[in-house]
Structure 1
Amino acid sequence: MDRQQSISRRRVAVSAVLTAAALVAVGMTAAPNAQAADLNVAKNAGFESGLANWTCTAGTSVSTPVHGGTAALKATPAGQDNARCSQTVAVKPGATYTLSAWTQGSYAYLGASGTGTTDVSTWSPGSTEWKQLTTTFKAGPSTKSVTVYTHGWYGQSAYYVDDLSVFGPDGGGGTDPEPGIPTAPAGLTVSGPTASSLNLSWSAVTGASSYHVYRGGTKVQTVTGTSATVTGLSANTSYDFQVSAANAAGESPKSATVSGRTNPGDTGPGPNPNVPKHALTGYWQNFNNGATVQKLRDVQAQYDIIAVSFADSTTTPGQIVFNLDPAVGYTNVADFKADIAAKKQAGKSVIISVGGEKGNVTLNSDASATAFANSAYQLMQEYGFNGVDIDLEHGVNSTYLTKALRQLSAKAGANMVLTMAPQTIDMQSTGTEYFKTALAVKDILTVVNMQYYNSGSMLGCDGKVYSQGSVDFLTALACIQLEGGLDPSQVGIGVPASTRGAGSGYVSPAIVNNALDCLTKGNGCGNFKPTKTYPALRGAMTWSTNWDATAGNAWSNAVGPHVHGLP
Structure 2
Amino acid sequence: MSPYITSARSPRFWSAAVTAALALCLAGAGQASAADVNNVKNSGFESGLGGWTCSAGSGTTVSSPVHGGSAALKATPAGLDNARCAQTVAVQPGATYTLSAWVQGGYAYLGVTGTGSTDVSTWTPDSASWKQLSTTFTTGSSTTSVTVYTHGWYGQAAYYADDVSVYGPDGGGGGDPAPTVPAAPGGLAVSGTTSSSVSLAWNAVSGATGYNVYRDGTKVTAVTGTSATVTGLAASTSYSFQVTATNAAGESAKSGAVTGTTAASTGTGGGTLPKHAVTGYWQNFDNGATVQKISDVPSQYDIIAVAFADATTTPGAVTFTLDSAGLGGYTVDQFKADIKAKQAAGKKVIVSVGGQNGTVSVRDAASAANFADSVYSLMQTYGFDGVDIDLENGLDATYMTQALRALSAKAGPSMILTMAPQTIDMQSTSNAYFQTALNVKDILTVVNMQYYNSGSMLGCDGKVYSQGSVDFLTALACIQLEGGLAPSQVGLGLPASTRGAGSGYVSPTVVNNALDCLTKLTNCGSFKPSKAYPDLRGAMTWSTNWDAASGNAWSGAVGPHVHALP
> What TM-score range do you get, normalising by the shorter chain?
0.5 to 0.7
1:212 matches 2:191: no
Instruction: Provide Cα deviations, 1:16-68, integer angstroms capped at 9, x if missing partner.
Output: xxxxxxxxxxxxxxxxxxxxxx989987999xxxxxxxxxxxx9956xxx8x6
Letter in 2 for 1:291: A
Letter in 1 for 2:254: K
SS at match of 2:551: coil
The answer for the alignment partner of 1:181 in structure 2 is 182
Listed as ranges, the gaps of 5+ residues in structure 1 are 1-37, 47-58, 74-100, 111-125, 133-155, 166-174
The answer for the alignment partner of 1:129 in structure 2 is 108
CA apart distance, 1:470 = 0.8
1:428 matches 2:427: yes
CA apart distance, 1:331 = 4.0
Instruction: Provide Cα deviations, 1:256-296, integer angstroms capped at 9, x if missing partner.
Output: 6799999xxxx9x9512322211100000011111111011
d(CA) in 1 for partners of 2:411 and 2:350? Answer: 13
TM alignment of 1:58-457, pairs within 5 A? 101-104=73-76, 128-129=107-108, 159-163=158-162, 181-184=182-185, 186-187=188-189, 201-207=200-206, 208-213=208-213, 222-225=222-225, 226-227=227-228, 243-248=243-248, 250-255=250-255, 270-325=268-323, 326-457=325-456
Query: What percentage of aligned pairs have identical amino acids?
Result: 61
Question: In structure 2, do the counterparts of structure 1 residues 382 and 540 end up closer, same or farther at CA, with 3 Å as the change threshold?
Answer: same
CA apart distance, 1:399 = 1.2
d(CA) in 1 for partners of 2:549 and 2:78? Answer: 40
Does the 8 A contact of 1:45 with 1:163 survive in 2? no
Instruction: Provide Cα deviations, 1:502-531, integer angstroms capped at 9, x if missing partner.
Output: 011111111111111111111111111111
d(CA) in 1 for partners of 2:163 and 2:479? Answer: 35
SS at match of 1:327: coil
Question: In structure 2, do the counterparts of structure 1 residues 315 and 450 end up closer, same or farther at CA, with 3 Å as the change threshold?
Answer: same
Does the 8 A contact of 1:70 with 1:224 survive in 2? no
Letter in 2 for 1:103: A
d(CA) in 1 for partners of 2:555 and 2:444? Answer: 24
Larger RCO (CA under 8 A, 6+ residues apart): 2
Question: Rg larger in 1 or in 2?
Answer: 1
d(CA) in 2 for partners of 1:259 and 1:487? Answer: 27
Does the 8 A contact of 1:104 with 1:128 survive in 2? no
Letter in 2 for 1:289: N
Does the 8 A contact of 1:181 with 1:247 survive in 2? yes
Bigger mean CA deviation after superposition, 332-341 or 429-438:
332-341
Letter in 1 for 2:339: I
Instruction: Provide Cα deviations, 1:290-328, integer angstroms capped at 9, x if missing partner.
Output: 111101100010000000001111111111111111211
Instruction: Provide Cα deviations, 1:228-247, integer angstroms capped at 9, x if missing partner.
Output: 7789x9xxxx9997542213
d(CA) in 2 for partners of 1:506 and 1:160? Answer: 32
CA apart distance, 1:183 = 1.5
Question: In structure 2, do the counterparts of structure 1 residues 369 and 192 end up closer, same or farther at CA, with 3 Å as the change threshold?
Answer: closer
The TM-score normalised by the length of structure 2 is 0.67
Question: In structure 2, do the counterparts of structure 1 residues 259 and 551 end up closer, same or farther at CA, with 3 Å as the change threshold?
Answer: farther
d(CA) in 2 for partners of 1:130 and 1:102? Answer: 13
Does the 8 A contact of 2:268 with 2:414 survive in 1? no
Does the 8 A contact of 2:243 with 2:254 survive in 1? yes
Question: In structure 2, do the counterparts of structure 1 residues 406 and 508 end up closer, same or farther at CA, with 3 Å as the change threshold?
Answer: same
CA apart distance, 1:248 = 4.9
Does the 8 A contact of 2:408 with 2:415 survive in 1? yes
The answer for the alignment partner of 2:543 in structure 1 is 544
Letter in 2 for 1:503: G
d(CA) in 2 for partners of 1:503 and 1:202? Answer: 43
The answer for the alignment partner of 1:487 in structure 2 is 486
SS at match of 1:293: coil
Does the 8 A contact of 1:229 with 1:439 survive in 2? no
The answer for the alignment partner of 1:83 in structure 2 is none
TM alignment of 1:475-554, pairs within 5 A? 475-554=474-553
d(CA) in 2 for partners of 1:536 and 1:335? Answer: 36
The answer for the alignment partner of 1:459 in structure 2 is 458
CA apart distance, 1:131 = 9.0
d(CA) in 2 for partners of 1:41 and 1:302? Answer: 56
d(CA) in 1 for partners of 2:416 and 2:550? Answer: 28
CA apart distance, 1:209 = 1.7
Question: In structure 2, do the counterparts of structure 1 residues 467 and 200 end up closer, same or farther at CA, with 3 Å as the change threshold?
Answer: farther
CA apart distance, 1:102 = 4.9
d(CA) in 2 for partners of 1:394 and 1:547? Answer: 24
Does the 8 A contact of 2:44 with 2:68 survive in 1? no
CA apart distance, 1:254 = 2.7
d(CA) in 2 for partners of 1:282 and 1:473? Answer: 21
d(CA) in 2 for partners of 1:440 and 1:187? Answer: 18
d(CA) in 1 for partners of 2:422 and 2:273? Answer: 23
Question: In structure 2, do the counterparts of structure 1 residues 44 and 179 end up closer, same or farther at CA, with 3 Å as the change threshold?
Answer: farther
d(CA) in 2 for partners of 1:106 and 1:205? Answer: 36
Does the 8 A contact of 1:280 with 1:540 survive in 2? yes
TM alignment of 1:21-60, pairs within 5 A? none
Question: In structure 2, do the counterparts of structure 1 residues 40 and 294 end up closer, same or farther at CA, with 3 Å as the change threshold?
Answer: closer
CA apart distance, 1:223 = 3.1
d(CA) in 1 for partners of 2:292 and 2:376? Answer: 25
d(CA) in 2 for partners of 1:252 and 1:403? Answer: 27
Letter in 1 for 2:507: S
The TM-score normalised by the length of structure 1 is 0.66
The answer for the alignment partner of 1:21 in structure 2 is none
Does the 8 A contact of 2:336 with 2:382 survive in 1? yes
Instruction: Provide Cα deviations, 1:465-522, integer angstroms capped at 9, x if missing partner.
Output: 0001111100100011111111111110000011111011111111111111111111
Question: In structure 2, do the counterparts of structure 1 residues 71 and 377 end up closer, same or farther at CA, with 3 Å as the change threshold?
Answer: farther
1:474 matches 2:473: yes
CA apart distance, 1:220 = 6.9
Letter in 2 for 1:479: C
d(CA) in 2 for partners of 1:516 and 1:373? Answer: 34
SS at match of 1:374: helix
Question: In structure 2, do the counterparts of structure 1 residues 221 and 508 end up closer, same or farther at CA, with 3 Å as the change threshold?
Answer: same
Question: In structure 2, do the counterparts of structure 1 residues 407 and 222 end up closer, same or farther at CA, with 3 Å as the change threshold?
Answer: closer
Letter in 1 for 2:374: S
